[in-house]
Structure 1
Amino acid sequence: MQRSPIMDQGLAPAEDARRAPRPPRLWRPRRVVVTPAALDHAHGRAMVARLEAEGLSVERLAANRLSLPRQADPRRAYADAKATLALTVAPPTKLRLQPIPPSADWRFDLAEGCPAHCQYCYLAGSLSGPPVTRAYANLGEILDNLGGYAGRGGVTSASAARAAEGTTFEASCYTDPLGIEHHTGSLSAAIAHFGAWEAPVQLRFTTKFAAVSPLLGLRHERRTRIRFSVNARSAARYEGGTDPLDARLDALRQVAMAGYPVGLTVAPILPIPDWERAYAALIEDAADALAGVPDLDLTAELITHRFTPGSKEVLQGWYPGSDLPLDEAERSRKLTKFGSVKYVLPKPQMDAMRSAITGQIARILPAARVLYWT
């Protein structure tokens, strides 16, 4: 009997149909602007050419200061900002890297802002001004700057358990770089940079998007770990504008098959009804997606939901109808190392969830190394 491509992959037709994802979501901004300084950089000009080839109109600004039309309605101001892509130059402060525990030795930014509409967005209250997505044109300067930080990390490279990762550089603190990659090309350039960097270093990023095709043929040399931010299916209503879980898990399989080290960022872990069963189902789905991947290098990062008074105010302004649990009375009040207030899950609940979810991973997905719980 002639074998079908599905049979060659070791999947029954029904299984393949279940996994077949819809086309990845590709964000298309309503407004694109570029500053004069961005046009001084080859990457800035390349982004403009890419966007115009997509049929988008790129507005050349007269000055380097970004401005949006004033809106009396804060919801309209939010929508306008979220629909805007600005090509700018990263300021000098972006070249002074900061450690980003517990994820990585250093944080660097290819962009700032995100096109998604997550109702728990951890950028809320962290970034000043309207939530415009800014892509940085001085990419060469940003990547060249990283060399001065290799071998100097004090987070993961100083950890006996994670020192084999080398000096780690996190690229998704203030953006989702895959969500805008089709417009920028910056993430592919960063992966190629690390692939050519003959040193014990690792690029890390996490994403809620699934358009990984541009990354599959890159020479990465296993120096980039691609992590997918995932959550229980009942939390999907909080993740507007992102690719659905099945598409993310399919993309996870694709990049793992292309030889990338991969990861699951389970975040934010929420006290949803029947949470234990819901998160077990998530881990089972991930195990199914990764079944049969050769030389699998898989990590898991487990991040519980928390909020600050400032982020709560911003999020409730952005998403006034959300039922996201933001009741301080149901949380424990903690102080950060900077003295600010945050609200986290109560310790008994935190301990129960940690025990259950890490136990589920050990049982269902034993290939995964849990890097941290926070």
Structure 2
Amino acid sequence: MTVLLTEEPRPRPPAERRRPARLWQPRRVLVTPAALDHAHGRQIVARAEALGLPVERLKSNRLTGLRDDENPRRAYAQAKATLAVVTAPPTKLKLQPIPPSADWRFDLAEGCPAHCQYCYLAGSLSGPPVTRVYANLDAILGNLDSYLGQGGVTSTSEARAAEGTTFEASCYTDPLGIEHLTGSLSAAIRHFGAWEAPVQLRFTTKFAGVEPLLDLPHRGRTRVRFSVNAAAAAHYEGGTAPLADRLAAMGALARAGYPVGLTIAPILPVEDWQEAYDALLRDAAEALADVSEPDLTVELITHRFTPGSKTVLEGWYPGSDLPMREAERTRKLTKFGSVKYVFPGDLMKAMRAHLTERVAARLPGARILYWT
């Protein structure tokens, strides 16, 4: 594809002079005995200790003492500063479909170090938001082969069949945000690169520390998508990489031959939203301006919330101005019968038409995978 610039490109630093990514440093690292039975678990501990992080080896495989019912805010803060090295339970080896993104979801970890005020994990994970990373990586990756050729998103789609069987690794975590601590993402990329089959690893990220990935033998079988938003929404994304750094990282990966993507989410009617999202797409085009025919996809995801996620998020981020007033939304039922609140139909149509048109104008040749 080609990218279209309708304004003079602004100067960008060369890829080799990109400023170093800010890396998350947990305040404590908990390790279960079962995790230490795995070589990958021991490697994670060694990484943490090399960084000078306090490592506590637990006496049992249960994580306890994480709740603080008298002070939920303190419990949240402590959990967000904690990395737990554990083993994935057997249920994790029974993969679930994850439409419209991919055929299957598999997890390298659960939880995320970022502080996004709209975090969808608030309604998905129970208990304090500790980041749990899985030590039994060999079992997780070795399990994927049994799902080859199956699935209802890309495996059976004429439009996306070229992607092969797709596996989403960022449903419950941001694997790049913790990669310097785990090495799990690099191992997964190598696994897919060596897998002689029509497959694709997919993950999305709000971080920019891509240097460990640039020279991996990915063989075009990993698509890295960067979760981005209009500049006016930046204050909702605490603890993440600045937007400019994410876009620069996307350019670096594209130059390294990776398929890349933009996950524009959650789309919000911020002030002057038409111009705000056009500016985002302009900046994305600039980041790819020196890449010949990048393989680029775009996923468009509007903001929605459930009663449960709203309650959790308001507890985590009291005082947030994130628009979550039910009276301003349309009430919908999910396929499971639960309630969610989305934008009214007229606004949804207007946003979809505008973003679709601007993607075509700014990034001609990019494939829009879905709007939701």
> TM-score scaled by structure 1?
0.95
CA contact (8 A) 2:303 2:342 kept: yes
Mapping of residues 65-104 of structure 1, within 5 Å: 65-71=62-68, 72-104=70-102
Query: What is the match of residue 213 of structure 2?
Result: 215
CA contact (8 A) 1:19 1:246 kept: no
Does 1 or 2 have the higher relative contact order (CA < 8 Å, sep 6+)?
2
Query: Quick one: which amino acid aligns to residue 170 of structure 2?
Result: S
Shift of 1:56: 1.1
Query: What is the match of residue 35 of structure 1?
Result: 32
Structure 1 pair 82–14 and aligned structure 2 pair: CA distance change class (3 A): same
Given candidates 143, 152, 155, the residue that maps to 1:154 is: 152
| 1:134-177 residue CA offsets vs partner (Å, 9 max, x unmatched) | 00000000000000001011112211110100000000000000
Query: What is the match of residue 105 of structure 1?
Result: 103
Shift of 1:69: 4.8
Mapping of residues 1-374 of structure 1, within 5 Å: 14-16=11-13, 21-71=18-68, 72-374=70-372
Structure 1 pair 15–255 and aligned structure 2 pair: CA distance change class (3 A): closer
Counterpart-to-counterpart distance in 2, 1:157 and 1:148 = 14
Query: What is the match of residue 5 of structure 2?
Result: none
Counterpart-to-counterpart distance in 1, 2:169 and 2:15 = 32
CA contact (8 A) 1:102 1:156 kept: no
Counterpart-to-counterpart distance in 2, 1:261 and 1:43 = 27
Query: What is the match of residue 4 of structure 2?
Result: none
Shift of 1:368: 1.1
Shift of 1:18: 12
Shift of 1:14: 4.1
CA contact (8 A) 1:99 1:107 kept: yes
Counterpart-to-counterpart distance in 2, 1:146 and 1:166 = 13
Query: Quick one: which amino acid aligns to residue 63 of structure 2?
Result: L
Query: Quick one: which amino acid aligns to residue 61 of structure 1?
Result: L
CA contact (8 A) 1:19 1:250 kept: no
| 1:73-96 residue CA offsets vs partner (Å, 9 max, x unmatched) | 111000000000000000011000
Counterpart-to-counterpart distance in 1, 2:132 and 2:149 = 29
Counterpart-to-counterpart distance in 2, 1:18 and 1:241 = 23
Q: Which runs of 5+ in 2 are unaligned?
A: 1-7
> TM-score scaled by structure 2?
0.95
The answer to which of 49-58 and 180-189 deviates more is 49-58
Identical residues among aligned pairs (%): 73
| 1:317-337 residue CA offsets vs partner (Å, 9 max, x unmatched) | 000010000000010000001
Counterpart-to-counterpart distance in 2, 1:86 and 1:114 = 12
Structure 1 pair 280–120 and aligned structure 2 pair: CA distance change class (3 A): same
Counterpart-to-counterpart distance in 1, 2:84 and 2:66 = 14
Counterpart-to-counterpart distance in 1, 2:248 and 2:161 = 29
The answer to which of 67-76 and 27-36 deviates more is 67-76
Counterpart-to-counterpart distance in 2, 1:89 and 1:63 = 12
Query: Quick one: which amino acid aligns to residue 101 of structure 2?
Result: S
Shift of 1:202: 0.1
Aligned length: 364
Q: Which runs of 5+ in 1 are unaligned?
A: 1-10
**RMSD after superposition:** 1.6
Counterpart-to-counterpart distance in 1, 2:92 and 2:40 = 17
